[in-house]
Structure 1
Amino acid sequence: MQALSILPLKSGLLVGSRLEFELDCSCFVVSPKTTRKRLCFLEQACFGSSSSISSFIFVSSNRKVLFLCEPKRSLLGSSFGVGWATEQRELELGEEEVSTEDLSSANGGEKNNLRVDVRELAFSLRAAKTADDVDAVLKDKGELPLQVFCAMIKGFGKDKRLKPAVAVVDWLKRKKSESGGVIGPNLFIYNSLLGAMRGFGEAEKILKDMEEEGIVPNIVTYNTLMVIYMEEGEFLKALGILDLTKEKGFEPNPITYSTALLVYRRMEDGMGALEFFVELREKYAKREIGNDVGYDWEFEFVKLENFIGRICYQVMRRWLVKDDNWTTRVLKLLNAMDSAGVRPSREEHERLIWACTREEHYIVGKELYKRIRERFSEISLSVCNHLIWLMGKAKKWWAALEIYEDLLDEGPEPNNLSYELVVSHFNILLSAASKRGIWRWGVRLLNKMEDKGLKPQRRHWNAVLVACSKASETTAAIQIFKAMVDNGEKPTVISYGALLSALEKGKLYDEAFRVWNHMIKVGIEPNLYAYTTMASVLTGQQKFNLLDTLLKEMASKGIEPSVVTFNAVISGCARNGLSGVAYEWFHRMKSENVEPNEITYEMLIEALANDAKPRLAYELHVKAQNEGLKLSSKPYDAVVKSAETYGATIDLNLLGPRPDKKNRP
């Protein structure tokens, strides 16, 4: 059901459908009980293909002519539309008395209501460029109410047909001189022209024309002028109209203040708009403004309060979508709104959270979330999920987990997306723990997941197992592996590989063998990492015959030993003082076309140098340099020290300068 708009008239109330009129809507006059008035016939006319202007002209037998024109999209949006219509009331359009004698039919001079088809009239003038063109159309129309011209000028302006609008005013000026001032452009005509010429830089010219015609601007003129300057980007000039109106003896009305706030909105100056409103509120409290009896200031001020909240929200949203980081400004404006007692609604809080999409926005999102939880009884689940995602993007995973905990404790109940988002954050955290070997952190994360009803999956257990392996935490790795099995997760080759590595580092070779055999028994095919770990285990046990068998098994399954595999064997030999065996495996890897790297040479050189073989260690060092490998200072020092200890002769010039630790790749 459409809302009704009610405008007071001297003869009663004008009641019509909502300001954004559709075609063929109705309107009627409600008169006071003490006065009997006949209802007037009403016609709506629309200009332009988009029906952008709705105009009503009706002539009643009680010798009153009323005109109302309303744009479908008001100058300042829907919140300003009511004010715009109220401004039209100030024009006192009904005050122009038009004699129905001139509008009566030829039927015995009887007075009848006359329909004025403004749309058809404007259509016939759409191509007019001069006053002569207008005169050619209107010369046989008789005297028309000035409201008709106002409607046409506004319609021309809305359709960007400026030439016919100017031509109509020029024609009225001509009529003024011909009729001795009886017919001519008045204040309302010029206000209509001023509004029609918005965005074309003609405001100053129109004001000068008004001055030449002896027409004094009113508050509507200045309000329109403020809008014009705002749309032209002359924001300071638009705000200066406030002082100008007072200088001219006019009291700014609610429309003036609404327009000023909108100027701040266009400037994206939320703090300026808020300070302006606070100052305005103080003046209203002291009764320095709001004394105009033509307005219900108490009601109007409520609208202004709502308007400033909306403006601050829009400005903050604009700040958040900018490329620059304006989070500090958003937080300052939020605090300033608190101090001023202006609080956005929950919906506005949530829409601001949706605008937080970059990493640096997490602090704004967190603050807005806190405010919603403290001030409102509900919060949207989709907003919470967005915040969990945002916190993860900003690497604030614990903050994301806190939001998930709030969902569990306070509601709304998390959905599958909430679960997946939090689990994805745990994946990242556990992966980081795995890469850095932070096994305690990994265990803590697993416990946290279980506490919050999130069942750890296989990849989560594996991540913690790998972390334990890297940290050489054998006991913790065994416990995690058992807990994984107890929780119904089937270990994978990664699980077994991590456990084997932890056991190898703890020199629990027999336990490693049992784990290996169990892995084979349950049908898990070893990968290169598992084979490499077992090669290290066999080297540690000095079971080189089984090591040969293991390498043959790898070859039969199409798994080629890598440089890491041979390094594991050479490293194991070096730790056990078997430099000769390590040297043999060095030649074996060369024969199998596996190129040694820096780690290979460094381990072997140190093993030979410590095993009283300085000359062989020296030759390997020179060989590595000739191959373009950059060794650290540790093998260099081992060669020099071994040569000095065992009296070996080496050429330090060939070794070159001692490598800098900082330059090690």
Structure 2
Amino acid sequence: MHMNMHRFRARVFLRSISLCKSKWHQHHGAQIHFSQNRTSTGPGFVEFETEPSMQMQVLKALCSGERKKASDLLLDFGSRTHSLTADDFLHIFKYCARSPDPLFVMEIRRFMELKGVSMNIICSSLMIEALCKGGCLEEAFHVMDSLGGSQCLYPVLPLYNSLLGSCTKMQSLIQANKCLDIMEKKIVGRSEVTYTELLKMENLGLQPSCHTYNGIIKAAVSHGNVGDAIGVLKKMQQKKLKPNDSTLATLSITCSKALQLDLAEAFLNQISECLYPHPYNALLASCDELNQPERAVQVFAKMKQKKVLPNIRTCELLFSLFGVVNAPYEDSDILSQVDAAKRINAIQKDMATNGIKHSHLSIKNILKALGEEGMIRELIQYLHLAENLFIYQNPSSGTHMYNTVLHYLVEAKESDMAIAVFKKMKLCGCNPDSETYNIMIDCCTIIQSYRSACLLISMMIRKGFCPVICTYTAIIKILLEDDNFDEALNLLKQVKLDGIQPDVLLFNTVLKQACYKERIDVIEFIVELMHREKVPPDPRTCGYVFSAYVNSGFHSTAIEALQVLSLRMISEDGNILGEEKKFVNEFILSEDLSAESQILKLFEDSEDELAVGLLNLRWCAIAGFPICESADQSLWARRLEGKRF
């Protein structure tokens, strides 16, 4: 590699000699004067009074036209001097830039490379100037290509201007645009200077080509500066230049990733010909993430209209988008299941037409869609397909697929089928993970087998997986079904001892059964424990506690408890005396008939707890009960806080 590099450099040097030969003879047709004691501003005069002897001798030889002597002096100095820096050649570079002398500047560069002397920005700038003035633009492009990375772009920017200026003086727009294309590569490192550079080009009288604009847009996009890219795009439109399809595709993909779907689709629609589905896939992925299947239908229709062939990624996204009909708005029914089956079959038919084979993700998305629709028979059929395609050849790849199937079987309360799938999973060499064990422990709540759950926990621990909050929730649920509240509460304490933070789902599991069994003592214990653990209640918490008191005939306490829990849903400290004070007048005590409609709008913003809390308090006020603005004011809350559980 080292040898090849020197050969390449030699070729560059020889080419520079041929390119610059005529310019050199033209220049040396004129007489060059030399003075050792005084300085002149003329291009051939150099001040030597303070120069080191090596540079003085080389410069004297150059000014006298003794090229061979200058070269010999340079080589002789290199053999006698062990440590050299770029500064040892600085004034020679200055002379070459003023003269100009592109031939000798290339000789210096080759000499420095052989001696391992690194160029600095000043010497590089002077070298570029010498090459440009000498008409060796191709060589100047080669030098520029080795400079101007992301860390040193700003010092190098004047060199671009030097190149552009030379191109302009020589009326060489072809060379100028080549220069702008070097520049595009460097701007990738610091895309924020693109506007600056466009202005410099225009000030020099250059008109950047369409290709140049496209390169600058891509450079800006590569660093996430979409705003800058769009600014350059507008400049193109003002000049009636059309961006190429690859630039539009890049912009569309970037906007899709930023979830700017309108902008992404607008760029996508401007593409005249798209040979690859990547920009469409990016937009489909964003539609999937934002749950906008309606827009995805339009995107896929345009893809088909423009005859863009899908790939496996397209199909994976289509299964995710269209495999489920109603989620998350409605439960599945027979009609939605039939519709889902049609969609899945249609996508698979398209795959067969285009010769696309299933991937792990496409099968996983189908399994998820079938599970969401409750299509258990089809779920098992596609599991068999996954086993034949992937799992039997590579058992480790099947864990996630089995977990998906097991989850939906347990959700559908198909415990026998889930147990059979779990056994088959282990037999085919697919190792269960923590998620698998927790799903099967949850399955034990269906068959009401505390013993099986304990065996699974034992297996889980032996495999190196620690119980998590959902593990305890499932075990406690089994104990509560047997009315074993004492053991369930002991296990609840163990959760804290194990350093696991309890969540509202765990507490609601206990509250639900305590409400059903009218265990007020357990209800009050859990409510206070939630308060001490700073776990805010949710609407289900309010419902279980309220119903428990009502069922036991404690109606006033039920209202008071409902208010306290609602306040704790609205505010972390359980009061609306501070910033939330506006809720009292605007929503809770307001006589305006539109107050409830305004509260219901909070559901649209996913502020369910706030909306339910406000509705509960408003209902209490309408029923004629005094509103408690702070949980600390409640006698019920203070009584629970003072109890020793």
Q: Under a length normalisation based on structure 2, what TM-score does the superposition of the two structures give?
A: 0.47
Please state which structure has a larger fraction of its residues in helix.
2
Kindly name which structure, 1 or 2, has the bigger radius of gyration based on alpha carbons: 1
Q: Under a length normalisation based on structure 1, what TM-score does the superposition of the two structures give?
A: 0.46
